[in-house]
Homo-oligomer: A and B are copies of this chain.
Amino acid sequence: MTAVPRVRMAPGDRREQLLTLGVTLLATRSLDELSIDLLAEEAGISRGLLYHYFGNKHDFHEAVMRRAADDLIAQTAPPTAGEPLERLLASVAAYVDYVEANYEGYLSLVKGAAGGNQQMRQIYDEARGALTDRVFREDAQGSVVPDTRAARLMVRAWSAMAEDLVLAWVRDPEGVTREELLAALAASLPALVEILH
């Protein structure tokens, strides 16, 4: 882990840099393990300066997690060209990459949200809403998924399935290749929507 260079920066830039470092640290740590002390040490700056940027540990955690969720949404954006199913496959591949690269932090978000932490719940719901809304926005002609109340329920349930499957696979991939996993994630969406739409 390289320290943030001690150069003169605009406050906004420095905050951005600290957030990026926070997200990097979170990838392999739970949120509980991501302390102000750790970030200060890794960034080579004082705790006092961190409190200046983030107010308190709670706000710091919220800002880092929000940035991590934004990264998830950005990294899983499907390519702009291609057939709907190919684009879906690219998007789920990026999701698997993200969960693999950020397992601990992602699990903290899932746990925090489900456990009733209001901030984590909001960040998680926004991210999940963005991911599922995107299915309908990206497929405006409804060639894979018609935009009905039933299909929206099912797309959300599919994303719960995908989350469970990917987290379990990253923990223990035995018996399932990456290609099988990706194919199953992409094929299951139209299959489930065909069953309830």
A153 contacts B by Cβ under 8 Å: yes
A13 contacts B by Cβ under 8 Å: no
Pick from B163, B165, B174, B192: contact of A191, CB below 8 A.
B192
Interface positions of A from 40 to 66, Cβ below 8 Å from B: none
A7 to B176, CA, bound (A): 59
A3 contacts B by Cβ under 8 Å: no
A17 contacts B by Cβ under 8 Å: no
Contact status of A180 and B196, CB under 8 A, knowing A112-B115, A114-B114, A115-B111:
yes
A165 neighbours in B (Cβ, 8 Å): 153-154, 156-157, 160
Give the one of A156, A181, A188 with max B CB within 10 A.
A188
Contact status of A176 and B150, CB under 8 A, knowing A114-B114, A116-B115, A192-B191:
yes
How many residues on A have C-beta within 8 angstroms of the other chain's C-beta atoms? 37
A149 neighbours in B (Cβ, 8 Å): 174-176
Closest Cβ of chain B to A195, distance in Å, is: 5
A164 neighbours in B (Cβ, 8 Å): 156-157, 160-161
A187 contacts B by Cβ under 8 Å: yes
Closest Cβ of chain B to A160, distance in Å, is: 4
Copies of this polypeptide in the complex = 2
A38 contacts B by Cβ under 8 Å: no
Q: Residues 151-193 of chain A: 1 if any B CB is under 8 Å from the residue's CB, otherwise 0?
A: 0011011101111110011000011100011011001100110
Give the one of A113, A114, A160, A181 with max B CB within 10 A.
A160
Closest Cβ of chain B to A23, distance in Å, is: 21
Pick from B114, B156, B175, B195: contact of A187, CB below 8 A.
B195
A110 neighbours in B (Cβ, 8 Å): 114
Closest Cβ of chain B to A45, distance in Å, is: 31
Residues of A within 8 A of B (CB): 110-117, 148-150, 153-154, 156-158, 160-165, 168-169, 174-176, 180-181, 183-184, 187-188, 191-192, 195-196
